[in-house]
């Protein structure tokens, strides 16, 4: 089954709206024309009836007792009935085919119009009362006139106008069904061109972007698509760097193990077995630490590792972390200075907080130059760690947290995953981790999350 076409949807929408608008307009025009024509018809009907009363008045003034019986002779489309006080009823020849019951009593000075049925046809009728002067007695007679006319010609005219107004929207619909798809397809030509340009863009061709179309509707789409391409390129670059780094770290450790085994097999060094096994164990431990760090980083970034928050007595916990780092710092000739007061308790995950603090302190003690002092400042809102970093540049801060990135040549046991782990753990705990560079020192600031 083919997917729905955008051109077809737009066409149906435009045709539907056009048909609805033209239909409503045609109905309004038909109603207005019918009203105007009906008013003109009634005006003409009343004019003929009033002309008939004038003839009656003239004949009565001349002393003729008979009404204008021959006025409408041989017409066949108009009839009348006349009734005056003191005179017998009069009517046309032939008489009206339909006479409403009690019409003389219901007639008054205001003309009253009605449409009477004669089989399938309609007759237009008007009745009203008037004062007819009498030649015999001075007082005027009260007369009532019923005048009717065949409406067939008028109804045919109204039907013709209805057909004209109905055929207008129908013809417009036919034109729209033919013209709108052509116009829509032509209007969507830039979209098809954009689709064709998208075909050559993908992971196999990084760095490509869609050019602006110059159209207000499509340019936001192009901008969003280019943003997605930029993020995709960044993600692919990170994945390639990650794969390259992982391959390098694994290959390096495995190559060390193989070289150690082959050298000892071919050219025995004479070292004790415990010493050789200890070196093999150290290499294996470094490889295990790299794999464990990668697994933890993956779980943190994918959301599989959820924080297990609990109340933590922060001050003694921090002191244990500092004591753990002091031997490593002293071995490199680096001192560790702690100042300030942290909050008494913190509701957090101690394991993830240890990942953050352990990596920040470990990096500071491992990369600070000999004779430097790693300063740790604590307060109720944050933890601040700084150390000398003469080789770092401001551009390097943007790469902090990338997997397997190291500024200096790799140290034993450091695979370049520490800051990536610290960032991921801080994000999982809802903490903010920022790095700044100033006065030749790198500053790491961890904002507590209570």
For residues 163 and 165, give the distance between their C-alpha atoms in angstroms, rounded to a whole number.
5
Would you say the CATH fold of 310-447 matches that of 6-160? Answer: no
Q: How many CB atoms lie under 10 A from the CB of residue 142?
A: 15
Cis bond upstream, residue 94 (ω within 30): yes
The pLDDT of residue 283 is 76
Least confident of 107-116, 282-291, 346-355, 382-391: 282-291
Q: 117 phi and psi, to 5 degrees?
A: -95, 135
Comparison of pLDDT for 328 and 202, the residue scoring more: 328
CB 343 within 8 A of CB 382: no
Q: What is the per-residue pLDDT across 404-446, written as a single tens digit (0 to 9) for each?
A: 666 655 544 455 667 777 888 888 888 888 888 888 888 889 8
For residues 429 and 434, give the distance between their C-alpha atoms in angstroms, rounded to a whole number.
15
Q: How many CB atoms lie under 10 A from the CB of residue 217?
A: 9
Comparison of pLDDT for 348 and 199, the residue scoring more: 348
* Contacts of residue 297, Cβ cutoff 8 Å, sequence gap at least 6: 403, 417, 420, 421, 424
Average pLDDT over residues 307-315: 86
Average pLDDT over residues 374-387: 90
For residues 384 and 435, give the distance between their C-alpha atoms in angstroms, rounded to a whole number.
10
Burial class (CB in 10 A: 0-12, 13-18, 19+), 365: buried
Q: How many CB atoms lie under 10 A from the CB of residue 29?
A: 14
Classify domain 6-160 at the CATH topology level: Beta-Lactamase (3.30.450)
Compute the Cα dihedral for 239, 245, 251, 254 and give only its sign.
negative
For residues 163 and 445, give the distance between their C-alpha atoms in angstroms, rounded to a whole number.
82
Cross-strand bridge partners of residue 444: 385, 435
DSSP 8-class letter at 387: E
Q: What is the per-residue pLDDT across 31-81, written as a single tens digit (0 to 9) for each?
A: 999 899 999 999 999 998 888 888 776 765 555 545 554 445 445 688 888
Q: What is the mean pLDDT of the chain?
A: 79
DSSP 8-class letter at 351: H
For residues 247 and 257, give the distance between their C-alpha atoms in angstroms, rounded to a whole number.
15
Cross-strand bridge partners of residue 113: 126
Tell me the pTM. 0.45
For residues 325 and 365, give the distance between their C-alpha atoms in angstroms, rounded to a whole number.
8
% the chain with pLDDT above 70:
80
DSSP 8-class letter at 290: H
Average pLDDT over residues 387-404: 75
Classify domain 310-447 at the CATH topology level: Heat Shock Protein 90 (3.30.565)
Determine the number of helices (DSSP H) and then strands (DSSP E) in the chain: 9, 12
- Where are the chain's structural domains? 6-160, 203-268, 310-447
Angle at 247 between CA 243 and CA 253, to 5 degrees: 150
For residues 151 and 124, give the distance between their C-alpha atoms in angstroms, rounded to a whole number.
6
Cross-strand bridge partners of residue 112: 127
Angle at 134 between CA 129 and CA 138, to 5 degrees: 115
CA atoms within 13 A of residue 300's CA, in its CB half-sphere: 25
Q: What is the per-residue pLDDT across 211-258, written as a single tens digit (0 to 9) for each?
A: 887 777 778 888 888 888 888 887 777 667 666 666 666 777 788 788
CB 135 within 8 A of CB 61: yes
Instruction: Tally the residues of the chain.
Output: 450
């Amino acid at each position: 089954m083919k997917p729905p076409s955008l051109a077809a949807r737009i066409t149906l929408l435009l045709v539907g709206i056009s048909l609805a608008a033209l239909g409503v307009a045609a109905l309004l025009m038909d109603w207005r024309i019918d009203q105007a024509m009906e008013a003109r018809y009634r005006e003409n009907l009343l004019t003929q009836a009033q002309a008939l009363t004038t003839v009656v008045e003239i004949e009565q003034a001349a002393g003729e007792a008979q009404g204008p019986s021959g006025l409408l002779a041989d017409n066949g489309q108009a009839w009348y009935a006349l009734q005056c006080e003191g005179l017998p009823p009069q009517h046309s020849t032939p008489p009206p085919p339909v006479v409403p019951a009690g019409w003389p009593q219901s007639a008054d000075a205001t003309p009253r119009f009605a449409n009477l049925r004669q089989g399938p046809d309609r007759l237009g009728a008007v009745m009203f009362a008037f004062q007819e002067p009498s030649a015999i007695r001075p007082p005027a007679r009260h007369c009532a006139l019923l005048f009717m006319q065949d409406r067939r010609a008028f109804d045919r005219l109204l039907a013709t106008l209805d057909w004209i107004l109905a055929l207008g929207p129908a013809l417009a619909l036919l034109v729209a069904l033919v013209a709108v798809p052509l116009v829509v397809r032509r209007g969507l030509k830039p979209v098809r061109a954009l689709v064709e340009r998208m075909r050559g863009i993908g992971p196999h061709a990084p760095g490509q972007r869609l050019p602006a179309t110059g159209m207000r509707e499509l340019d936001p789409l192009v901008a969003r698509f280019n943003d997605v391409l930029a993020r995709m390129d960044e993600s692919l670059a990170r994945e390639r760097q990650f794969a390259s780094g992982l391959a390098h770290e694994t290959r390096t450790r495995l190559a060390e193990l193989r070289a150690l085994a082959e050298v000892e097999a071919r050219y025995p060094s004479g070292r004790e077995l415990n010493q050789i096994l200890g070196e093999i164990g150290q290499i294996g431990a470094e490889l295990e630490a790299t794999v464990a760090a990668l697994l933890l980083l993956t779980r943190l970034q994918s959301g599989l590792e959820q924080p297990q928050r609990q109340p933590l007595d922060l001050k003694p916990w921090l002191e244990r972390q500092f004591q753990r780092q002091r031997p490593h710092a002293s071995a490199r000739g680096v001192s560790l200075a702690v100042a300030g007061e942290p909050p008494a308790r913190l509701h957090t995950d101690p394991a993830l907080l240890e990942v953050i603090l352990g990596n920040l302190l470990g990096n500071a003690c491992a990369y600070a130059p000999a004779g430097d002092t790693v300063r740790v400042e604590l307060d109720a809102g944050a933890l601040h760690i700084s150390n000398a970093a003469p080789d770092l540049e401001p551009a390097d801060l943007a790469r902090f947290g990338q997997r397997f990135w190291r500024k200096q040549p790799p140290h034993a046991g450091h695979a370049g995953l520490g800051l990536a782990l610290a960032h991921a753990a801080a994000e999982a705990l809802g903490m903010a981790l920022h790095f700044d560079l100033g006065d030749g020192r790198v500053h790491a600031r961890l904002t507590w999350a209570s």
